[in-house]
C-alpha cells in the first residue's frame, strides 16, 4: 500500500513540473511570435510608442495569467506535499518501530547458583571459588541454603555478607523412617532439604532455572561460562533435562587433555554441579522422594528417555570425603577427578552438534566405526579408536573394572553412558565399552 501511494506521489510531482514547463513555454513564446508576424517597419515616433505600449500590455496580461496559473499549481503542490508528508510519517513510523524492536534486545538470563550446605565449615572453599570465577553478581546470584543448624558453618556463610543470600532450612526435626532405614536418616534429611531449597528458588525468588552445587564442590574457571552457553539448549530441547558439570569417569589419565571444549550427551544423571529449569521442577516436585533423590532421578519413570549434557573434563571437583555416603567411591575414583583449568569460551562456540538427531548420527558412526578388539588386543594397541563389546551386566562390569572406569549401573544405565556406550580416553586411545550394534533400550533389572 505504501509503495503504491509513493508511486502516485512521484507521478503527480512529475506531471506538475511538466505542466509548468509547457505553460511557461506557451505563455512566454506565443505573444512574441504573434507580435513578430504582425509588426512592420514604422518610421514615425508615434508608431514606435504605440508598439512599445502594446508589448507592455501584452506582457502584463501574460504575467497576470501566469500568476493565476501559479496559484492554481500551488494548491496542487500543497496537496501533493500533504499526502507525501503523511506517507513519510507512516514510513518513518514503521522504521521507528523496527528500529525500536531491534534496539531493545532481550535482557540476559539470570542463572542463580544454589549451594546446598549443612555442617561443613569448608564451605568457604566452595564459596571462594564461586565468587572468584563468577562474571557477574547480578546474572549469577549465589543462594546458600543451610540445613543442620550448625552454628560455625552459619558464621562462615554469614561472613560473606551481601555477596550471597543465606537461607536456613526451618525444619531440623528427625524424620520418621522405617527401622531398617535408620542408618539412612541423613539421606532423608538431604532429600527434604533439596525440596525446600528448590521451592525457595523457583517459588519465592521466581527464578526460571538454577545451577545446584553442594558445599564440598570446587568449580572451574569457566564454570559459569559453561552453564550460560548451554542454558538455551536446555530450555529448547525436550530430549534434555539437565546440564551437568561432572564426568563420572573424568579422572586424570582418563580424559583427553586436548579436548577441554568437548561435550557429550549422557543418559546417566551425573549431579555434582547441575542445572535444571523450573518446568522440570514443576514436574518433579509433586512426586519428590523421601530419600535417595539422586538414584530416584535415575529411574526410567523420572528420566523418561531424556539425557543430560556432560563435559569431557569436569567443571567441578569434590573435596568432601566425609558425608552421608561415608566416602563411597571417593578414595578410588572421586579424589582423582581432573578439574578443568583452561577457560573455554563456550558462549562463542557452535554447539549445534549436541542436537539429538545430529549427535546420534555422528555417535553411531564414531562408535561402531571404531575397530572392535578384545581386552588382550586393546592392551597392546597403539593410539586410535577402539571398541570392546559387552552383552550382559556381568561382562560390562568385568570390562569396566579391568579398564579402570566406574562399573556400577543404575536402572541399567552405566555411569557417563549414552545409548549403552561408555566412552573414555586412555594412553592416546579413545575407547568405547559398547553393546552390540542395534542397541534399543536399557534393561532396568541390570544393576
Task: Indicate if 335 and 229 belong to the same structural domain.
Answer: yes
Say if 62 falls within a structural domain.
Answer: yes
- Above pLDDT 90, what percent of the chain? 71
Pair 188, 317 in one domain: yes
For 8, the grid coordinates are 502516485
- Give the HSE-up count for residue 350: Cα atoms under 13 Å, Cβ half-sphere: 3
Question: Are residues 343 and 404 located together in one domain of the fold?
Answer: no
Residue 13 lies in a domain: yes
One domain for residues 443 and 429:
yes
HSE at residue 204, side-chain half, CA atoms within 13 A, is 10
Q: What is the CATH number of the domain that holds 205?
A: 3.90.550.10
Question: Tell me, what's the pLDDT at 332?
Answer: 81
Across 61-79, b (16+ Cβ under 10 Å) vs e yields: ebeeeeeeeeeeeeeebee
> What does the pLDDT average to over 333-359?
96
Domain boundary among 337, 353, 369: 353
Q: What is the pLDDT of residue 378?
A: 96
Nine cell digits for residue 77: 503542490
Q: Are residues 253 and 119 in the same domain?
A: yes
pTM above 0.85, yes or no: no
The count of structural domains within the chain is: 3
- Residue where one domain finishes, among candidates 353, 382, 403: 353
Residue-level pLDDT at 85: 41
Report pLDDT for 70.
55
Q: What is the pLDDT of residue 39?
A: 38
Task: Kindly state whether residue 108 falls inside one of the protein's structural domains.
Answer: no
Of 256, 294, 295, 355, the catalytic one is 294
To the query of whether residue 408 is one of the catalytic residues in this protein, the response is no
The CATH number that applies at residue 364 is 3.10.180.20
Regarding whether 160 and 200 lie in a shared domain, the answer is yes
Answer yes or no: do 148 and 294 share one domain. Answer: yes
Same domain, 393 and 277: no
What share of the chain has pLDDT > 70, as a percent? 75
- C-alpha 224/C-alpha 135 separation (Å) is 7
Using alpha carbons only, how large is the chain's radius of gyration in Å? 40
Please indicate whether residue 395 or residue 77 has the higher confidence score (pLDDT).
395
**pLDDT one-digit tens code per residue, 211-262:** 999 999 999 999 999 999 999 999 999 999 999 999 999 999 999 999 999 9
> pLDDT tens digits for 186-215?
999 999 999 999 999 999 999 999 999 999
User: How far apart are the C-alpha atoms of 278 and 398, rounded to whole Å?
Assistant: 40
Which residue, 353, 385, 412, sits at the end of a domain?
353
> Is the same domain home to 267 and 336?
yes
Contact (CB, 8 A) for 292 and 191: yes
Do residue 258 and residue 367 come from a single domain?
no
Q: Catalogue the E-assigned strands of 106-262.
A: 113-117, 142-146, 165-168, 209-214, 217-219, 240-244
- If asked whether residues 294 and 310 sit together in one domain, one would say yes
Domain that holds residue 163: 113-353
pLDDT tens-digit series, residues 29-62: 444 434 333 434 444 444 445 554 555 565 456 5
Amino acid at each position: 500500500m505504501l509503495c503504491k501511494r509513493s508511486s502516485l506521489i512521484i507521478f503527480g510531482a512529475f506531471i506538475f513540473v511538466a505542466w509548468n514547463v509547457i505553460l511557461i513555454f506557451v505563455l512566454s513564446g506565443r505573444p512574441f511570435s504573434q507580435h513578430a508576424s504582425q509588426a512592420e517597419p514604422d518610421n514615425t515616433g508615434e508608431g514606435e510608442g504605440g508598439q512599445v505600449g502594446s508589448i507592455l500590455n501584452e506582457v502584463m496580461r501574460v504575467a497576470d495569467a501566469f500568476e493565476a496559473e501559479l496559484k492554481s499549481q500551488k494548491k496542487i503542490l500543497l496537496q501533493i506535499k500533504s499526502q507525501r508528508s503523511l506517507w513519510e510519517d507512516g514510513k518513518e513510523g514503521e522504521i521507528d518501530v523496527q528500529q525500536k524492536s531491534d534496539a531493545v534486545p532481550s535482557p540476559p538470563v539470570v542463572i542463580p547458583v544454589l549451594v546446598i550446605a549443612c555442617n561443613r565449615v569448608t564451605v568457604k572453599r566452595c564459596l571462594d571459588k564461586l565468587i572468584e570465577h563468577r562474571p557477574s553478581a547480578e546474572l549469577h546470584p549465589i543462594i546458600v541454603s543451610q540445613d543442620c543448624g550448625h552454628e560455625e558453618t552459619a558464621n562462615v556463610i554469614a561472613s560473606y555478607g551481601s555477596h550471597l543470600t543465606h537461607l536456613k532450612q526451618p525444619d531440623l526435626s528427625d524424620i520418621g523412617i522405617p527401622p531398617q532405614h535408620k542408618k539412612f536418616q541423613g539421606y532423608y534429611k538431604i532429600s527434604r532439604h533439596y525440596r525446600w531449597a528448590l521451592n525457595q528458588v523457583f517459588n519465592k525468588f521466581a527464578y526460571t532455572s538454577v545451577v545446584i552445587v553442594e558445599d564440598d564442590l570446587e568449580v572451574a574457571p569457566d564454570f559459569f561460562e559453561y552453564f550460560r552457553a548451554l542454558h538455551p539448549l536446555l530450555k529448547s530441547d525436550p530430549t534434555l533435562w539437565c546440564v551437568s558439570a561432572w564426568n563420572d569417569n573424568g579422572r586424570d589419565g582418563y580424559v583427553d587433555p586436548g579436548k577441554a571444549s568437548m561435550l557429550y550427551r549422557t543418559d546417566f544423571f551425573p549431579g555434582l554441579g547441575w542445572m535444571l529449569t523450573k518446568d522440570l521442577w514443576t514436574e518433579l516436585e509433586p512426586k519428590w522422594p523421601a530419600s535417595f533423590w539422586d538414584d530416584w532421578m535415575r529411574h526410567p519413570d523420572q528420566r523418561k528417555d531424556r539425557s543430560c549434557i556432560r563435559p569431557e573434563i569436569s567443571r567441578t571437583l569434590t573435596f568432601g570425603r566425609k558425608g552421608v555416603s561415608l566416602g563411597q567411591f571417593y578414595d578410588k575414583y572421586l579424589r582423582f577427578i581432573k578439574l578443568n583449568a583452561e577457560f573455554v569460551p563456550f558462549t562463542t562456540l557452535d554447539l549445534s552438534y549436541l542436537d539429538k538427531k545430529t549427535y546420534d548420527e555422528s555417535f553411531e558412526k564414531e562408535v561402531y566405526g571404531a575397530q572392535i578388539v578384545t581386552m588382550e588386543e586393546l592392551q597392546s594397541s597403539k593410539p586410535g579408536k577402539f571398541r570392546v563389546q559387552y552383552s550382559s551386566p556381568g561382562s560390562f562390569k568385568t570390562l569396566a573394572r579391568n579398564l579402570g572406569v566406574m562399573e556400577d549401573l543404575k536402572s541399567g544405565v552405566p555411569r557417563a553412558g549414552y545409548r549403552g556406550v561408555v566412552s573414555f580416553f586412555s594412553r592416546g586411545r579413545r575407547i568405547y565399552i559398547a553393546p552390540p550394534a542395534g542397541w534399543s533400550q536399557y534393561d532396568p533389572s541390570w544393576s
